[in-house]
Amino acid sequence: MSMKTAQQYEDSLRELHFKVYLQGELITNPVDHPIIRPSMNSVKMTYALAEEPEYQDLMTATSHLSGKKINRFCHLHQSADDLVKKVKMQRLLGQKTAACFQRCVGMDAINAVDSTTFEIDKKLGTTYHERFTRFLLNMQEQDWTVDGAMTDPKGDRSLSPSKQADPDLFVHVVEKRADGIVVSGAKAHQTGALNSHMILVMPTIAMGREDTDYAVSFAAPADAEGIFYIYGRQSCDTRKLEGGDIDVGNKQFGGHETLMVFDNVFIPWDHVFMCGETEFSGMLVERFAGYHRQSYGGCKVGVGDVLIGATALAADYNGAAKATHIKDKLIEMTHLNETLYACGIACSAEGCKTASGTYLIDLLLANVCKQNVTRFPYEIARLAEDIAGGLMVTMPSEHDLRHPEIGKVVEKYFKGVANIPTEQRLRILRLIENITLGTAAVGYRTESMHGAGSPQAQRVMIARQGNLEKKKELAKAIAGISPE
């Protein structure tokens, strides 16, 4: 097959048998559930755009393994140009969905696991890379959406995995058998898990020898026996159950997060890519985090483009577009958004080849990119809320607008510029609300802070990669101080 159409992707999800709990109920059909469906539509867009001739250069690539045309989300980066195109693709998808399109985490995971397993095998003589390559070929041939699963619940953050009061607070091996391993535990904040075909699990932190059972990486079907999900709650999520489309803000697209639980799940050896090699857990975490921090220089920028456009429209509809301070705030929003994009492009352009041949971003610049993402979207959102005005969070519901009696009152008193229909004004304000405060805010504001690691995690990496000693030597040379 090599590439699925958008409809084939949706049909393939219907063949899976997820066990998922949402608001205390067991859901039998996640594809059509009104709260979950918009997130599936976002992933579906990654398939739909790959069918469009004008987006082929960004959305597709040539597999270095099979020579076939594949979706870029299944591709291992073979050049710095691939890394740049990844960021451009993510910006495009952010513009098309104004939401989290979820497939990035799997793409970042396969690239990190590829180079890490190669280096494990080179040093220890294992066969993880060969196993992973077979998995990757299947992923490319079937055009799977893969959910990269790294974040564990962690429990007491002051204790290592093996020292936790409950061993399941980190995913770990509970049994080794001749045919495979059995794992238990959970992964938290799993983006797009219910829209995925496969799960690619990785350790969440660097580990010591005492944590051998926790240094594990493997792949499993998303609906494997023993895996179940608890769906994460989002702000304003039940508006999707009300039947209208204005109050949701972005009716068609969205994202989702789940708690993914492994209840004694069997994994055959052919899908195990790390099992006890603690010395390489830090490498895998560092590389995955670097790729995912690069991703935010694309996806958040695309959503930012939509938010800036919506804010400019709100200014038009409010009759405030000509005010100098409004123009200046829109310029500032654009400046911040393009700065994020510049960081995403920079860490990509400075990428280099790893031992496996896969290209890795510049880790310092990727962490600088994500550190900016923990700040700039918040300021962009603040400025959007400033320009939109208080009506964004006080306007009545769509039911009031459609009401046979009070609808005319809503039409009259919530109109802005005379030639703009009141409904258009309400729609654009609800879109801004959705991105800054509603369900999309999970994938724009909060995810900007905590996705791909906390702000402090990036600062640790910036300190590690910043090479202060070299900078000291540069200063000594200019100041005329002899080297010691």
| DSSP calls for 50-85 | GGSGGGHHHHEEE-TTT--EEEGGGPPP-SHHHHHH
Q: Is 446 annotated as a binding residue?
A: no
CB 423 within 8 A of CB 412: no
User: Among the options 299, 343, 347, 369, which is catalytic?
Assistant: 299
User: Among the options 60, 97, 117, 191, which is catalytic?
Assistant: 191
257 included as an active-site residue: yes
CB 171 within 8 A of CB 265: no
**Eight-class DSSP state of 446:** I
296 included as an active-site residue: yes
Exposed/middle/buried for residue 155 (C-beta within 10 Å: 0-12, 13-18, 19+): middle
Please report where in the chains the tokens 């009759």 appear, as a residue.
319
231 included as an active-site residue: no
User: Among the options 10, 33, 75, 104, which is catalytic?
Assistant: 104
Within 13 A of 200's CA, how many CA atoms are on the CB side?
25
Tokens of 273: 């890519």
Tokens of 467: 């090479």
Compute the distance between CA of residue 387 and CA of residue 369 in angstroms, rounded to an integer. Answer: 26
Tokens of 345: 């492009």
Element (H, E) at 418: none
User: Among the options 296, 317, 341, 444, which is catalytic?
Assistant: 296
Exposed/middle/buried for residue 175 (C-beta within 10 Å: 0-12, 13-18, 19+): exposed
CB 67 within 8 A of CB 78: no
Q: Residue 177 pairs with which residues in a beta bridge?
A: 180
Report the Cα–Cα distance between both ends of the chain, in Å, rounded: 63
15 included as an active-site residue: no
User: Among the options 278, 292, 347, 444, which is catalytic?
Assistant: 292
User: Among the options 10, 257, 286, 433, which is catalytic?
Assistant: 257
292 included as an active-site residue: yes
Q: Residue 182 pairs with which residues in a beta bridge?
A: 175, 266
343 included as an active-site residue: no
Could you give phi then psi for residue 301, rounded to 5 degrees?
-70, -40
User: Among the options 9, 47, 100, 436, which is catalytic?
Assistant: 100
Compute the distance between CA of residue 58 and CA of residue 287 in angstroms, rounded to an integer. Answer: 23
Compute the distance between CA of residue 426 and CA of residue 242 in angstroms, rounded to an integer. Answer: 17
Compute the distance between CA of residue 104 and CA of residue 43 in angstroms, rounded to an integer. Answer: 10
Positions marked active-site: 100, 104, 191, 257, 292, 296, 299, 447
Q: Where is the binding site, in residues?
A: 191
Q: Where is the binding site for FAD, in residues?
A: 191
